[in-house]
Amino acid sequence: MTTLDARRAAEIVARFHDQRILVVGDVMLDRYIRGSVNRISPEAPVPVVAVTGETASPGGAANVARNVQSLGGVTVLCGVVGEDAAGRELMEVLGRDDINAGGVRRFPDVQTTVKTRVVAGRQQIVRVDWDVPLDLSERQVDLLCRHVADLTRESSGVVIEDYGKGCVRQEIVDAVLSVARQRRVPVGFDPKENHWLKISGVSVATPNLREAYAGAGLPERPLAADALKDVALRKAAGILLQKWRPDLLIVTLGPQGMLLLSQNEPPAAIPTRAREVYDVSGAGDTVIAACVLALAAGASHYEAAGLANYAAGVVVGKAGTASCSQEELLAGFQQTP
């Protein structure tokens, strides 16, 4: 595997601003309630959080779009939200962050997904989800398919971001891949463990450990100290490589980095670049965003994986669903011994 140095990384990153990346998938609102804990409730053995602040940010596919933009690319977000208060708030948040949400459709019979995390200091106390899977009509699916095909024609790369909420379905995947193959546009797929989609032809797939085992139809096993010598993981990854037929399969392993498998090169493992793990929320969003952006900018598959690994190392050192800037990404290469 070719080593990615600071000079080559800078060459690739310099081309990010020329890339238009379509992000298709499950959009949601991430809300954070922050405070401090000084006592236990007299009503039940639970902490009492004295709230000091509340913030809202783009979640799911919307956070992927924010990462693309933060890294210097041009992004267009495509998904579904409801005509409810949370949907209005999410659209306002996207506007505040200057994210192009022209591909987001609002339907009256949809409930917008909201994930609310209560955080005291550096500890997440609880997460509360308002979450009803989409039940789209045939007309709505057809509308989305035609819309996503048009947006793919205008893009230099596509991310399919599946959070299992119902937006990512076979018809949508087929609409993206049909156009992407014709235009030779790289497509990245970030899966969820409860989906079984035919995605043959994607450039890169980025399951985490649990998703890799689920996608392979195998029981999850504890991760070995050396991912390359983890027989169970290698078996699961090999099944996915044959099943999904991606050009590159990246299994993200949290503190242990990534396992990379491709159709033409031997497996490789790259260690995490995180100096400190503060919050892993949204790290997978950063990986797929950086990887597809790099592929669109002319990086090889392993170069794209290396850039994505550095970007993930940045965001896990931040609180909440965060993003990585070009400056932070390139600084990581400068600091590498």
Active site residues: 285
d(CA 317, CA 276): 5
Q: Which residue has the tokens 């890169």?
A: 204
d(CA 164, CA 117): 19
CA distances to 88, 117, 159, 171, 321 from 56, rounded to whole Å, are 12, 10, 23, 31, 10
d(CA 130, CA 96): 23
Tokens at 104, concatenated: 């987001």
Please count the other Cβ atoms lying within 10 Å of the Cβ belonging to residue 240: 22
Helical packing angle, 326-335 and 301-315, nearest 10°: 100
Supply the Cα-derived Rg of the chain in whole angstroms: 19
